[in-house]
Chain A
Amino acid sequence: MDPHVTDPSAPLKGKPSKKAERQLAREGKQQIISFVFMIFLTSIAFLTVASDTIPNRFAIPFILIIAGVQVVMQLYYFMHLNERGNGWTNIMLWTGFFVAALTVATLMLLIGVTKY
């Protein structure tokens, strides 16, 4: 009997199936592409800050946006949130993000000097 049935922590034996192999190859490709893309985004952020021609007014929101893109890519491609069986993690994550973002935005409006 396969030792996995009684002990899930036992090492896997045998080769992965053709389907699993294709899946792994696809995943590997995706990870390399997203890794290169993230290095590209990081260098753009660095260039934006380093160059004197780009004003701070543009640079700060711009690098914050690409930082956000990187966080999402990190979660989905490297921390495997895009795989099946993560539905609940996704729901909780985005609900939390939505509630927090709405709360913080409202607070910034309400605490300011101008009253609406």
Chain B
Amino acid sequence: MSNAKAQKSVLWDWLTTVDHKKIGILYLVSGGFFFALGGLEAILMRIQLMFPNLGFVSAQTFNELLTMHGTTMIFLAAMPLLFGFMNYIVPLQIGARDVAFPFLNSLGFWLFLFGGILINLSWFLGGAPDAGWTAYVPLSSEYSGTGIDYYVLGLQISGLGTLISGINFLVTIINMRAPGMSMMRMPLFTWSSFVASALILFAFPALTVGLLLLMLERLFGATYFAVDFGGNVVIWQHLFWIFGHPEVYILILPAFGIFSEILATFSKKRLFGYSAMVFATLIIGFLGFMVWAHHMFTVGIGPVANAIFAVATMAIAVPTGIKIFNWLFTLWGGRIQFTTANLFAIGFIPSFVMGGVTGVMLATSAANYQFHDTYFVVAHFHYVIIGGVVLGLFAGAFYWWPRMFGYKLNETLGKWFFWLFLFGFHLTFFVQHFVGLMGMPRRVASYLPGQGLDSLNFVSSVGAILMSVAFILFLVNVVVSVKNKSEADPWDGRTLEWGIPTPTPEYNFAQTPLVRELDALWYEKMHGNGKLKAAEPLDDIHMPNGSILPIFMSLGLFIAAFGLIYHVIPVTVIGLGITLGAMFIRSIKEDHGYHIHKEDIKKEEGVG
């Protein structure tokens, strides 16, 4: 049965795959595409703001650009790219052959992709959403065109995919760990993915409800937010930020995990204060739910409420500080190798601390009245998201590239890329603190000359151009390094994913490994023969069959969304029919998967 697979075409294989490694790469490719798209939107905005009173894009286009930049970067770039790493690496790190629900994993990916495509199609069909990525009502409910409908339905569909993936990771990490891999022996990237997935599970329902209310209001004339009918506009802001604040931690926690892996590997030391790191991750995840109103200090929720949320917000600095010190102590006295991945991790520490410090400034609710809606806020969240998440993504890319693609990225080009990107990033956003303190509001299409804003905005735009040059250098690196074949364990790694042959076999582990310590592979290198011990005899491996149904389920929702946006009921019915039909087929069709035989495994592993 196992040979039947090899005959299928490559394209069909990728469209129907349920293998966590291939889905991880699909996430990385599509997330990378949306990242480039969001970057392009940012560059267009920075060109418009390079000089005062420039007419490079119209004010309406500028609104659409800023909305799509935020939406794309958060929902369609950062999160899917992290999902890519989580998909590929987490099962390997816990010694599993796949995630708990391979079919759902594929469904989660295709829902995300179709949702993302739907949002971006709005550019060609009557204008993109233009109410900011937060889509505050009544601007988004009463004063915007069909762009917001694309936003609402696209996010609803891709949000469904995210929720499915989050649940999948939770079940995988709880149930699929190899023998001996207790919770407190899990690598920190797995731990932070676990906490981030729990945040997805609890935070996304708030977004789903908010988007549902907005959809009912826009498409069916409901009045939840319409003040003249007794509605309340602040409800949207609450619902959005109850989701929106944990979302920030959904992004940053996996990045923290990536840095923890890299700093330990390239310092040749065990991660300092492992249990404190786990504890801090949990506390950050928990506190992330208790602080959403700090986005709404100026709404007028009252001084006591403001004070409570201000204090809760500042409290998050404590576990984050624990993490920063633990990273520094991991480096302390270590045999540090300055690889590109480690440079990104080391560059992250001061960059992120700066974002954290402005975060505490913004949390001071009295001062917030001054900072609110200025470029100071823009500078702050770009410092945490680029200085934290994006540097983490690039660090992870350089670190895990040999594992995922079998070749090493060029280190010289990589270091050029790092320095250019870091320099460009600080150039772009450091000056924006001052632009904001001088009073330039965010989300405006232009500014007047002679107000002291000209030169700082120019500097900021130059930095943005440097960042895009750096990113192009990264893409060049990906292409020119292909011949740079890598061995299975190029970094002298510590965790399970480096203990298997390269390219990673379809079944990951020929025999489920036995885990004896934290940093399982390192322990075997120090106390064993350097090879992972097996927890089971070599036997046939049961594998799931691929399926094309996830694409049809997602396509159905995609079509139904068009029917809703243009009020054509038959199209909606057809779309939902396709989705439900695919679900029905999935339910009644028995699919037992197939086996990879012991002999084939022996041949591939080169034993016996």
CB within 8 Å of B: which residues of A? 88, 92, 95-96, 99-100, 102-103, 106-107, 109-111, 115-116
Contact = CB atoms under 8 A, between A and B. Distances in A.
B230 interface: no
A95 B170 CA distance: 14
10 contacts: A92-B170, A95-B202, A99-B202, A103-B242, A109-B305, A110-B238, A110-B305, A111-B234, A115-B301, A116-B304
Interface string B276-305: 000000000000011001000000111111
A66 B201 CA distance: 28
Contacts of A116: 301-305
Given A95-B202, A110-B238, A111-B234, A103 B289 contact: yes
A93 to B, nearest CB: 11
A107 B238 contact: yes
A115 B302 CA distance: 5
Given A92-B198, A109-B305, A116-B304, 15 more contacts: A92-B170, A95-B202, A96-B201, A96-B202, A103-B242, A106-B293, A107-B238, A107-B242, A110-B301, A110-B305, A111-B238, A115-B300, A115-B301, A115-B305, A116-B305
Given A115-B300, A116-B302, A116-B304, A110 B293 contact: yes
Chain A contact surface mostly: helix
A2 to B, nearest CB: 18
B437 interface: no
A109 B309 CA distance: 13
Chain B contact surface mostly: helix
A61 B605 CA distance: 66
B146 interface: no
- Which of the four size classes fits the interface of chain B? 20 to 34
Contacts of A88: 174
A115 B289 CA distance: 21
A94 to B, nearest CB: 12
Nearest to B302: A115
Nearest to A109: B305
A96 B293 CA distance: 19
Contacts of B170: 92
B235 interface: yes
Contacts of A103: 206, 242, 289
Contacts of B300: 115
B174 to A, nearest CB: 5
Contacts of B304: 116
Interface string B123-137: 000000000000000
